């Protein structure tokens, strides 16, 4: 099948629209892209030269929803089905996968890094791990507009979901998201849906205002509060609700040095910190705080495919809203979209939609 996609040939150079042949092999499918979200990680590959696992030339894009247009041997049951493609697809067979650690699978497929990604008309991926969003007979595929929106489930919604679950968050706990953009904004909604008291921290008031209608009980401006002032504001909020420090769950979702330092500074006795945002620069923190507070810090890479049905259910049941947080643009506008997100000229997650 002929596939059109936007290819990165060199770091920072204009993307090139190219055509290639793709045929699914055994256990693989070819997904016709309904939408592909623009992630901070894509920009790190494109603007900053963060290495992809497969060298350029490469089509980026790992937040994909679409319809299975072709299937290889052993994958025919997927034909015609509407799906979300996980951003991280473990092999399912190695020692790490069998031990439940698929996120660190050395053979994992990461669209837009190990293989061509979703900024095109189609992409070829393993069928294992696909998340269906319709009936098995394929007759009730999601309407095109809705399926486009579900693209962000592949990373921006599913990644904070896994991080929240791994943190042990319970109803009545405190959840603080440092960075309220795509990942952080959806994380706020998920934590609220699970019954947590949620604080959103960001430098943009518009983001905080939106989240106060979607799960955040308090919004704090990181650019107006020094480290100690931010900590005092969080502590006061928790004290009013009688939430002890060992029930504090802090999620770093800004991917900035300042955000990571601020998130670490919020740790108290027994608290739990998860690093989700990617940041190339080193950050100076006093690691002895982990010892002194008997606290925990943990990273989170993507989301295991087995969690995706629960994430999709949160969205389709209305407990997590997508539309107020996304902006659709034609795929042909990819260059401008990259530049706008890189320059922080947009508040919403951009979903690029291939031309009909």
Name which of 37, 24, 108, 38 is nearest 66 in CA terms: 37
Categorize the per-residue pLDDT at 356 as very low, low, confident or very high, splitting at 50, 70 and 90: confident
> DSSP 3-state assignment of 64?
strand
CA 63 to chain centre: 8
Model confidence over 254-294: pLDDT tens digits? 999 999 999 999 999 999 999 999 998 999 999 999 999 99
Percent of the chain residues topping a pLDDT of 70: 98
- Identify the pLDDT of residue 106: 96
Distance CA 232, CA 266 (A): 9
In the chain, where the domains are located: 2-155+303-353, 158-299
- Highest CATH level, class, for 2-155+303-353: alpha beta
- Identify the pLDDT of residue 139: 44
Q: Do residues 250 and 218 make contact, with C-beta atoms less than 8 angstroms apart?
A: no
Helix (H) / strand (E) element for 130: namely none
Q: Do residues 77 and 24 make contact, with C-beta atoms less than 8 angstroms apart?
A: no
Distance CA 75, CA 67 (A): 14
Model confidence over 107-119: pLDDT tens digits? 999 999 999 999 9
For the segment 321-337, the average pLDDT, to the nearest whole number, is 98
Decide yes or no: CATH 3.40.50.720 for domain 158-299.
Answer: yes
227: its two tokens: 């480290």
Model confidence over 29-79: pLDDT tens digits? 999 999 999 999 999 999 999 999 999 999 999 999 999 999 999 999 999
161: its two tokens: 């979901």
Strands (E), the chain: 2-7, 16-21, 28-37, 63-71, 82-85, 122-126, 131-132, 174-178, 197-202, 218-221, 248-252, 272-275, 296-299, 326-330, 349-353
Q: Is the pLDDT confidence value at 6 over 90?
A: yes
Q: Is the pLDDT confidence value at 348 over 60?
A: yes
Model confidence over 150-190: pLDDT tens digits? 999 999 999 999 999 999 999 999 999 999 999 999 999 99
Burial class from Cβ neighbours inside 10 Å (0-12, 13-18, 19+) for residue 4 reads middle
Model confidence over 225-265: pLDDT tens digits? 988 999 999 999 999 999 999 999 999 999 999 999 999 99
CA trace torsion 331, 336, 341, 345 (10° rounding): -130
Model confidence over 120-147: pLDDT tens digits? 999 999 999 999 997 444 444 567 779 9
Q: Do residues 112 and 42 make contact, with C-beta atoms less than 8 angstroms apart?
A: yes
Strands 28-37 and 349-353: antiparallel
pTM: 0.95
Q: How open is the CA angle 214-217-218, to the nearest 5 degrees?
A: 115
* String of DSSP letters for 251-319: EE-S-SHHHHHHHHHT--TT-EEEE-S---S-----THHHHHHT-EEEE--S--GGGHHHHHHHHHTTS
> DSSP 3-state assignment of 172?
coil
- Identify the pLDDT of residue 342: 95
- Identify the pLDDT of residue 141: 58
- Identify the pLDDT of residue 135: 46
Q: Do residues 65 and 37 make contact, with C-beta atoms less than 8 angstroms apart?
A: no
Name which of 249, 243, 279, 271 is nearest 164 in CA terms: 249
Distance CA 204, CA 47 (A): 23
Q: Do residues 278 and 41 make contact, with C-beta atoms less than 8 angstroms apart?
A: yes
- Identify the pLDDT of residue 143: 72
């Amino acid at each position: 099948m002929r596939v059109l996609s936007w290819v990165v040939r060199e770091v920072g150079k204009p993307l090139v629209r190219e055509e290639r042949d793709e045929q699914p092999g055994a256990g693989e499918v070819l997904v016709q892209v309904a939408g592909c979200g623009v992630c901070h990680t894509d920009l790190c590959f494109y603007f900053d030269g963060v290495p992809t696992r497969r060298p350029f030339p490469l089509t980026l894009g790992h937040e994909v929803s679409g319809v299975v247009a072709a299937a290889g041997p052993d994958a025919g049951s997927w034909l015609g089905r509407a799906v979300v493609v996980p951003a991280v697809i473990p092999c399912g067979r190695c020692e790490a996968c069998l031990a439940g650690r698929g996120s660190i699978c050395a053979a994992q497929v990461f669209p837009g890094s190990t293989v061509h990604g979703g900024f095109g008309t189609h992409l070829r991926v393993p069928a294992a791990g696909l998340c269906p969003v319709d009936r098995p007979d394929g007759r009730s595929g999601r309407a095109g507009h809705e399926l486009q929106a579900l693209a962000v489930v592949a990373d921006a919604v599913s990644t904070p979901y896994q991080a929240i679950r791994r943190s042990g968050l319970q109803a009545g706990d405190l959840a603080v998201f440092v960075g309220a953009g795509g990942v952080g904004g959806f994380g706020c909604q998920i934590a609220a849906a699970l019954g947590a008291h949620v604080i959103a921290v960001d430098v943009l008031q518009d983001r905080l205002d939106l989240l106060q209608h979607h799960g955040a009980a308090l919004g704090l401006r990181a650019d107006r509060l020094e480290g100690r002032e931010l900590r005092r504001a969080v502590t006061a909020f928790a004290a009013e609700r009688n939430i002890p420090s060992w029930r504090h769950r802090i999620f770093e979702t800004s991917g900035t040095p300042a955000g990571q330092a601020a998130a670490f500074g919020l740790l108290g006795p027994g608290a739990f910190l998860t690093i989700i945002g990617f940041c190339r620069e080193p950050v100076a923190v006093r690691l002895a705080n982990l010892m002194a507070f008997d606290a925990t810090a943990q990273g989170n890479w993507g989301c295991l495919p087995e969690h995706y049905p629960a994430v999709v259910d949160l969205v389709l049941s209305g407990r997590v809203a997508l539309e107020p947080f996304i902006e659709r643009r034609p795929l042909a506008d990819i260059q401008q979209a990259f530049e706008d997100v890189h320059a922080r000229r947009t508040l919403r997650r951009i979903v690029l939609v291939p031309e009909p």
